[in-house]
Structure 1
Amino acid sequence: MAEQEPYLRTRIGGEFVDLPGSIGSIRASLPEDRRAAFDAAIDEAPLMEVPLIAARWGLPQEAIDEDEALIEQLKRGDFSGFAEMDESAGSPQ
């Protein structure tokens, strides 16, 4: 029985998408001209941040564009579409 490649699952544009789930598979999924930058980012990353940095590099461009659009929306002070945090959540009653 062949072992399944590790993967990450996320939502992009409201759809579930499977992404590469190992450093090697992320590197292999990148265009040749971006692999050296990926290697440098991983090599220079603090150990605790490697999973987040690697996962970010594994995202397709449309997911990155979606994230950046949401960040710009928040920077403009437009919080529409975001859930309001319940300040009492987690507080002892």
Structure 2
Amino acid sequence: MATTIWNTYVDGECVELPATIDDIRAALPAERHSEFERAVGAAAPADLHLLLGHWALETRPDIRARDAATFARVEAGDFTGFTAAEDLIE
């Protein structure tokens, strides 16, 4: 069976993320497995895809750190590189 992946983009580059419960678990550090299992076990079926997306990103601490730095910059008032939704051309 082929491995299923999700794609996201970081600085315009495509990054592959695991997309199955087994592949996400395998990509996480062992100390996070029980936390992951509890979250998956408690998830409502309609929310499972969102939960798996969250945990797929947790397999990439580098992406999480970059996201945290971006949010901190925006919270500090630095909007460099951002375009307000109302400024987008439809």
Shared topology, TM-score over 0.5? yes
Deviation at residue 87 of structure 1 after TM alignment = 6.2
1:69 aligns with 2:65: no
Question: Partner of 1:39 in structure 2?
Answer: 37
**Structure with the higher helix share, 1 or 2:** 2
Once residues 75 and 16 of structure 2 are traced to their aligned partners in structure 1, the CA distance between those partners, rounded to angstroms, is: 29
User: Runs (4+) of structure 1 moved beyond 4 Å?
Assistant: 87-90
Query: SS in structure 1 opposite 2:51?
Result: helix
Shift of 1:8: 0.4
Counterpart position of 1:79: 79
Alignment partner of 1:15 is 2:13:
yes
Q: Percent identity?
A: 30
Give the structure-1-normalised TM-score.
Answer: 0.76
Answer with 46-55 or 68-77: which moved more: 46-55
Higher CA-based Rg: 1
Structure 2 residue runs of 5 or longer lacking an equivalent are none
Distance 2:81 2:88 in 1: 21
Matches of 1:85 and 1:11, distance apart in 2: 19
The Cα RMSD (Å) is: 2.2
Spell out the pairing of 1:25-36 with structure 2 (5 A cutoff).
Answer: 25-36=23-34
For structure 1, the 5+ residue unaligned runs are none
